[in-house]
Structure 1
Amino acid sequence: MASFSKHDVRRGLSALRWPLFWTRAGMYAEMLWRAIWPLATVVLLILAVLMLGLQDSVLVEVVWVGAVVAVLAVLATLFYAIKRFTTPSRAAAFVRLDETLPGRPIQALMDTQAVGDMDAASTAVWRAHQARMAERAATAQAVPADLRIARRDPYALRYVAALLFGVALIFGSILRIGSVADMTPGAGDGLAAGPVWEGWAESPRYTGRPTIYLNDIADGMLDVPAGSLITLRLYGEVGALSVTETVSGRASDPATVSNPEQDFTVINSGDIAIAGPGGRAWAIAVIPDSAPTVAVLDDPESDALGEMSLPFAATDDYGVEAGEARFVLDLPMVDRRHGLTIAPDARPEIAVALPMPIAGDRSDFEEVLIEDFSEHPWANLPVRVVLNALDASEQQAESEPRQIILPGRRFFDPLAAAVIEQRRDLLWSKGNAKRISQIMRAVAHLPDDVFRKEVDQLRMRRIFKRLETLASYGLTDEQQTQIARDMWDFALGLEEGDLSGALERLRQAQERLNQAMRDGASQAEIEELMRDLRRATEDYMQQLSRQAQQENQEGQDGQQQNSQNQMQMNQDDLQRMMDRIQELMEQGRMAEAEQALQELQEMLENMRVTQGEGGEGGQSPGEQAMEGLAETLREQQGLSDQAFRDLQEQFNPGAQAGQSQGNEGSNGGQGQGEQHDQGGTGQGEQSEGQQGGEGEQQGEGQGQGQESLADRQQALRDELNRQQGNLPGAGTPEGDAARDALDRAGRAMDNAEDALRQDDFAGAIDNQSQAMEALRESMRSLGEAMQQEAQGGEQGQGTSESDRRADARDPLGRDPGSNGSVGTEEGLLQGEDVYRRARDLLDEIRRRSGDGERPDVELEYLKRLLDRF
């Protein structure tokens, strides 16, 4: 290694000149910033205050106090800066730079050999060491300055000052600093030589437009919204500057044109001019604020309970703030007959607030006013509706008056409708009180022909006796309102009914529906009444069923022996008849619908539910329900099988076709195997002349797609709903358990239908399995209910259905099939998901078939299984 001399050391140190220079400059910046940051903070705060013009909005004494505080703060921070600032030395820069290098090479270059300098070997080692240190020093880079002072400014005052200064730069003006000079003694002379002014144009807040600083606006056109506030401030000798304007509409007064403070509102286009040194002039163009518009879009609609829906639309350039709908009685259009011939009592107009959009733009929108005026005296009478809209500038607009019939609830029970009519007459005028009492006494003259229950007659008598008593002394407004409230509640009880007898509810529902058809009720009202009729019919059928069961247990079956010539009807026939009635009403064929409804009424009143006896081959309601559930279970099993085959086809295309071809010869005819392969849809889908084969099977598989499978699942769900409504055993623990199980089955069927529509065959199979398990549980609970019922009957009537089914089971516990063959609707894997188990077995077969160490015979067998399934 060549010797390393002192000259080489100096040359190595000189190579550090620039890194050392920039490191020392950074140290200067650190020391300066740490010293002057309080001074910079104070200066920025003072400038922000002055540029924002805060000194112009306070008393001059406050300004002077603030000035003193500001000067003291500047002096204190300046003293702090001078005391804290120190000049960094060259040696300190060397040390900082050396600290960033490993081994402190710069210090090593500056050191001298302390011992062994007379020894050549020791000197050589020293020179070699310095040579290595010189190489390290040559890699030195300038050390950046550390300007962090968070520990010295824990409250971040410097950032607050910078933020305020930024706000002042955006929203303030550097010219406002000069206003401080106006507050100094002798400033009047200076201002006389050079007066100044400031001005602002502040737009209304609802427009969303910013405030305009007029000092930044050159002469010329200036567009401002109507209602903008112009503020002008004149500084200097009074009269040096003057303002003239023609935008506010105020009278021109020469005495006020030179006022130092002037404020006025722009209401029309015109000119604003500031005369004097530095003055300007603008031609103001007003941006008009249009009045809102509001209109009714269509006649109101009402639902079955009389709730009104009135569509409307409103617009405004800046947005509608509020609205109101006013309804006024259209007296000339009222049919002034009966109780309406007398002059009506004075009533205020109906005023309701219009709904506004909660979120979104209110400049152009459509909404629907929903209110219920059924109890108002003007319900179902002609009125005029006027909509009112208000914008933020308090401009109002009204829609064109629209003549409508104020929607209200309609009553189809004749007595309820009569009570409501008299209630209307009472609210129309107190002078109708005596007439109302006479009319209702005439209505109740033959109570047996009018009232269904004696309590209704007593209730009406109490209401009108009270009306007569109060009318003799003169009705007050409060008494009038209270009696009208009692009449409304009474009519609701008559209309909706609180009857305990199912037959009475059925008759009431039929009468209301008949009256609605004669009165031309709306579609919504007819649908609501049709739903009431269906519910009443179901209640009546259940009552008949319970009565027939009781008569059968008591041995009163003499009339059932002579029922051979009577027409038999089940629940499906009733549902079809009611569907036909509803279809006729929807088509407008009211006469035919009324005739069909009359036939249904006569048929129901003459109906007698019969229960079969063992010797006659008849079936009880429990047996019918059990048979229906068993059929539903078979159909659900068929749908599940079809879904499983679709799942196999999805993961193993062509497997189904091969299987069908392999079974072609064994599926001939019209046997059960073919029916099961069709998805369990029932024998009604098979024709007598069909023969099994490849063509039929493939046609069925292609025609019954995924969408039709979901539709069949939905149809099965609807059938389950019907069966659930006819399920016997209500009120018993077993019957309630059967109904709960059917609820679970229905929910599982709904989930299966959704899964089928989304091509999720695996999910559909899981839900179908749950549905089948729930159906089996319901059948078990229903069987227990039937057994409990049989045990409560007479002795010697034979074994129960469950006993007969138990006796017919084979040694493996399986029930006999429908055609006498051994079979069961229950899976052998009770309590398990059979399809999940099947998939697990299929996965295991695939795993074993991939194991090459297994015997060839076993692998061939596994391959045949995979090809088949």
Structure 2
Amino acid sequence: MAAKPVLATQLNSLHWPIRLTRAGMIAETCLRAFWPLASVVMLALAALMLGLHEMLPVEVVWSGAVLTLLGGLATLIWGLRQLRWPSRALALARLDETLPGRPINALLDAQAIGQDDTASTALWQAHQARMAARAAQAKAAQPNLRIAAADPYALRFVALLALVVALLFGSIWRVGTVRDLGPGAATAMAGPSWEGWLQPPRYTGLPTLYLNDVDDDEFKLPQGSTVTLRLYGQPGALTLAETVSGRTGELPSAADAQQDFVVTQSGELSIEGTGGQSWQIGVIADTPPQIAVAGQPEIEPDGTMSLPFSAVDDYGIAGGEVRIALDLLALDRRHGLSANPDPRSEITLDLPLPLTGGRSEFTEYLIDDFSQHPWANLPVTYTFVAWDGAEQRGEAPGFGATLLARRFFDPLAAAVVEQRRDLLWARANAPRVAQIIRTLTHHPEGQFRNPSAYLRMRMILRRLESYTVAGLTSERQNEIAEAMWELALMLEDGDVGDALERLRRAQERLSQAMRDGASDQEIAELMQELREATEDYMRQLQRQAEANGDVMEQGEMPENMMQLSQDDLQAMMDRIQELMEQGRMAEAEQALQELQQMMENMRVTENQQGQGGSEGQQAMEGLADTLKQQQGLSDQAFRDLQEQFNPGAGKGESEQNQGRNGGLGQGQSHEGGQGGDSEEGQPQGGSQEGQDGNAQSGQGQDGAQSPGGSLAERQQALREELQRQQNGLPLGGSEGGDAARQSLEDAGRAMDGAQESLEQGDLAEAIDQQAEAMERLREGMRALGEALAQQPGQAGSQSGRNTARQGNRMDPLGRNQPEGRDGAGDDGSRIGEGSAYRRAWDLLEEIRRRADERERSEGERGYLQRLLDQF
């Protein structure tokens, strides 16, 4: 009997492991019995939380509810039948199975034999004690919740996934709407018996309205709005009646399930039947756009015309155009315009519209360049037209004004442009134009500043005369017009290399503009050109003075002597501009002539401090030479870049054909020397001097630029020369000297970048870096010049007056020219003033004469014609 209490005590220590094991077994049997019921419940909850019962027809919802209830009842009954409640003995046996040697079962056993044997009893007790120790270590057995065998298709996981989705995207509050599924809810679940949408035209930018949400019985719609109606329920239960579409003829049935029509007039819209409604609709008319000219046309300095216009529309302008037609009634039909014009269509341009903001009301500018059009500066009629999104058009009355375009103030350029206009006006004017051009070129002395312009005009003349004989087609007409336009630009804007000639030219153009009554913008542009030309002339005199060891001052005037500073020049030009702005053109022209006379009388005085000039002057000369060499490298890089995209563009260039500032080019000098393009590809005098200067610099300045080597190597040599000049810069410690050094350091960094780009073959980037280097070099030279001018004792070292040494000039073949009778060199800057150029014209006329002689052989005449084509 003592063994029973001991066993009870030992089993009591296993109370919790046994209970937990039994609970796990209950979970196992419930899961296996009721997982179908749980799946049905999860699917039903997921459907309710997602609101499927609100979207589906009520009949479908009721059918689903019945099926769900039947499925739940069936799975409940099946689960109850499968349920087996585990007993304590089963839990004890499950726990004993988890222990080695099944100690709980051993504790429940009794000694069968040897109860009277003391040794046997002791052995049994020892065995029981060892089993009790093992049983005391028992832990609850883990339940087996795997039911994959019972659910091979994992339907329970499908139901669980649906429930998780409903928890994330649905709402638990939708479950409460199940009460709406009661009696009479079928009608409510069916939703409204009709729906309608009101969509205004898209160009209005107004939103679409939902007709069911419109509470007012009266409202307005933009004209052209689209009405869409959908009628539900039995066919014929609801019908449509409307008077807003204005439709006539065969109409669709009023009982159709879907109705679409456009609102064109005010009227009534009704949906007749149970739940129907009626509205009074007013139409907001779409007014046509309005457009008008808002001011007078104006000409910009670059020749671009701007004409303001304003446009208004209730919903915004969709597009527009302007038509420009020649106003023959307002045209002065004289000279070349007296002939009947060739048919030419009117100019049609699209109107610019605002890129930002609204287009309901705005003011914009029509901006275009009509300089090359045959109607340039002739009276025309502007007709502006605008349209809106409804394709309604608004047209402004014709506005008569001049077709403003670029004006030419050089008399010869203006004459060429006028003849170009006459040629484009009518091909019948071709003989007359040829006759006038021949007259202009008959005695070219004193008319042409640039020999190339004369030669180009002669070439145009020959082509025009040959085309006139063979028949002047529209293509040949446009070809001659294009050539004449380029000639006019050369005459008007061509680069005159000599700074004094540029100054004279700027003064002449300004004087001519004042006489012609030019606009304020044109006067301002020409005044700025005069200022720049004056500054260039002053810089040229300064460089000439520094090169000769002289200093610049005002020369002897007819009656007295006067000193003229840069501030005095600026004050005089400001006075001239002020007089022009006040309309006192006569006084302004007189002041301009006085300024021209003063500038031409500028002289330089000899420096008596020594032959070689000061250290600062030597530094300035070195930097100027470096700038010239950098310009030559940049020109060569640019020509190489052109050659990449246009092979053969550099044909004829060689190292003996100097360009700007010492680079290979077309024989056009950059500073000093003779202006214009050289003939036969020979170097001009100024270019030759630049070439000699480069060679000397390359030999005497550590090889700053050797004739040979790649562009990168020459750039590196020039960078090293700049570094040497920077190290030897005077004025150490002064503010001006520091500014000059900083600019030269920036120029050096730009040269390094240019060298790297040249080594990589990136010519475009190299050209940009070289331009930056030249700009920094100019800043450094400007800072150094200002610092030198502020040195004490600089002005006191100047005394005496004499003229600047002219030096021998070069003819177009590179030979030294002897001085003339008056001691001045024959520069040949104008036709008739240089013996070399006069000889060239004589040769040209002789070649032309022989080419026209019919008795000569075809081979000889062809050779002579090829010579003429070169010029």
TM-score scaled to structure 1, two decimals? Answer: 0.51
**In structure 1, distance between residues paired with 2:340 and 2:66:** 85
1:305 aligns to what SS in structure 2? coil
Q: 1:236 to 1:518 in 2, by over 3 A?
A: same
Q: Does 1:589 align with 2:596?
A: no
Aligned to 1:604: 599
Q: 1:510 to 1:255 in 2, by over 3 A?
A: closer
**In structure 2, distance between residues paired with 1:438 and 1:323:** 44
Q: By how many angstroms is 1:231 displaced?
A: 2.1
The residue type paired with residue 257 of structure 1 is A
The residue type paired with residue 347 of structure 2 is I
Aligned to 1:444: 441
Aligned to 2:481: 484
Q: Does 1:508 align with 2:516?
A: no
Aligned to 1:684: none
Select the residue among 332, 337, 341 that pairs with 2:334: 337
Q: Does 1:316 align with 2:313?
A: yes
Q: 1:489 to 1:215 in 2, by over 3 A?
A: same
Select the residue among 498, 521, 530 that pairs with 2:527: 530
| Alpha-carbon contact 1:50-1:177 (below 8 Å) kept | no
- Equivalent runs, 1:343-354 vs 2, <5 Å: 343-354=340-351
The residue type paired with residue 462 of structure 1 is M
**In structure 2, distance between residues paired with 1:76 and 1:466:** 104
| Alpha-carbon contact 2:726-2:741 (below 8 Å) kept | no
Note the aligned Cα RMSD (angstroms).
5.4
Deviates more, 1:559-568 or 1:501-510: 559-568
Q: CA deviation digits over 1:284-310, x for unaligned, max 9? A: 211222222222211122221211222
Q: 1:49 to 1:295 in 2, by over 3 A?
A: farther
Q: CA deviation digits over 1:177-200, x for unaligned, max 9? A: 979989xxxxxxxxxxxx954433
Q: Does 1:373 align with 2:362?
A: no
- Equivalent runs, 1:227-246 vs 2, <5 Å: 227-235=224-232, 238-246=235-243
Q: By how many angstroms is 1:450 displaced?
A: 1.1
| Alpha-carbon contact 1:327-1:351 (below 8 Å) kept | yes
Q: By how many angstroms is 1:521 displaced?
A: 1.0
**In structure 1, distance between residues paired with 2:545 and 2:68:** 110
Q: By how many angstroms is 1:235 displaced?
A: 4.4
Q: 1:204 to 1:533 in 2, by over 3 A?
A: same
Q: 1:153 to 1:293 in 2, by over 3 A?
A: farther
Aligned to 1:571: 566
**In structure 1, distance between residues paired with 2:593 and 2:405:** 28
2:292 aligns to what SS in structure 1? strand
**In structure 2, distance between residues paired with 1:78 and 1:461:** 108
| Alpha-carbon contact 1:242-1:274 (below 8 Å) kept | yes
Q: By how many angstroms is 1:255 displaced?
A: 6.7
**In structure 2, distance between residues paired with 1:257 and 1:327:** 53
Aligned residues: 526
Aligned to 2:654: none
Q: By how many angstroms is 1:585 displaced?
A: 1.3
Q: By how many angstroms is 1:731 displaced?
A: 14
| Alpha-carbon contact 2:555-2:603 (below 8 Å) kept | no
TM-score scaled to structure 2, two decimals? Answer: 0.51
Q: By how many angstroms is 1:458 displaced?
A: 0.2
**In structure 2, distance between residues paired with 1:80 and 1:335:** 107
Q: By how many angstroms is 1:621 displaced?
A: 13
Q: 1:561 to 1:452 in 2, by over 3 A?
A: closer
Q: 1:603 to 1:450 in 2, by over 3 A?
A: same
Q: By how many angstroms is 1:413 displaced?
A: 0.7
Q: By how many angstroms is 1:586 displaced?
A: 1.7
**In structure 2, distance between residues paired with 1:475 and 1:298:** 41
| Alpha-carbon contact 1:330-1:384 (below 8 Å) kept | yes
Aligned to 1:287: 284
Select the residue among 391, 411, 414 that pairs with 2:411: 414
1:419 aligns to what SS in structure 2? helix
Q: 1:419 to 1:211 in 2, by over 3 A?
A: same
Aligned to 1:462: 459
| Alpha-carbon contact 1:320-1:362 (below 8 Å) kept | yes
Q: By how many angstroms is 1:529 displaced?
A: 0.9
Aligned to 2:50: 44
Larger RCO of the pair (alpha carbons < 8 Å, separation 6+): 2
Aligned to 2:804: none
Q: By how many angstroms is 1:414 displaced?
A: 0.8
Q: 1:212 to 1:344 in 2, by over 3 A?
A: same
**In structure 2, distance between residues paired with 1:73 and 1:516:** 101
1:332 aligns to what SS in structure 2? helix
Q: Percent identity between the aligned chains?
A: 49
| Alpha-carbon contact 2:198-2:210 (below 8 Å) kept | yes
| Alpha-carbon contact 2:549-2:607 (below 8 Å) kept | no
Q: By how many angstroms is 1:157 displaced?
A: 6.5
Deviates more, 1:584-593 or 1:476-485: 476-485
Q: CA deviation digits over 1:201-254, x for unaligned, max 9? A: 222233343333334556832322211112233445555544332222221547
1:359 aligns to what SS in structure 2? coil
| Alpha-carbon contact 1:423-1:487 (below 8 Å) kept | yes
Aligned to 2:492: 495
2:383 aligns to what SS in structure 1? strand
Q: 1:157 to 1:516 in 2, by over 3 A?
A: farther
1:524 aligns to what SS in structure 2? helix
The residue type paired with residue 535 of structure 1 is E
The residue type paired with residue 602 of structure 2 is M
- Equivalent runs, 1:135-146 vs 2, <5 Å: none
Select the residue among 775, 779, 803 that pairs with 2:787: 779
Q: By how many angstroms is 1:568 displaced?
A: 4.0
| Alpha-carbon contact 2:42-2:163 (below 8 Å) kept | no
**In structure 1, distance between residues paired with 2:507 and 2:528:** 11
| Alpha-carbon contact 1:41-1:158 (below 8 Å) kept | no
**In structure 2, distance between residues paired with 1:506 and 1:351:** 41
Q: By how many angstroms is 1:256 displaced?
A: 3.5
| Alpha-carbon contact 1:246-1:272 (below 8 Å) kept | yes
Q: 1:747 to 1:779 in 2, by over 3 A?
A: closer
2:367 aligns to what SS in structure 1? strand
Q: CA deviation digits over 1:669-714, x for unaligned, max 9? A: xxxxxxxxxxxxxxxxxxxxxxxxxxxxxxxxxxxxxxxxxxxxxx
**In structure 2, distance between residues paired with 1:744 and 1:257:** 93
Q: 1:255 to 1:737 in 2, by over 3 A?
A: same
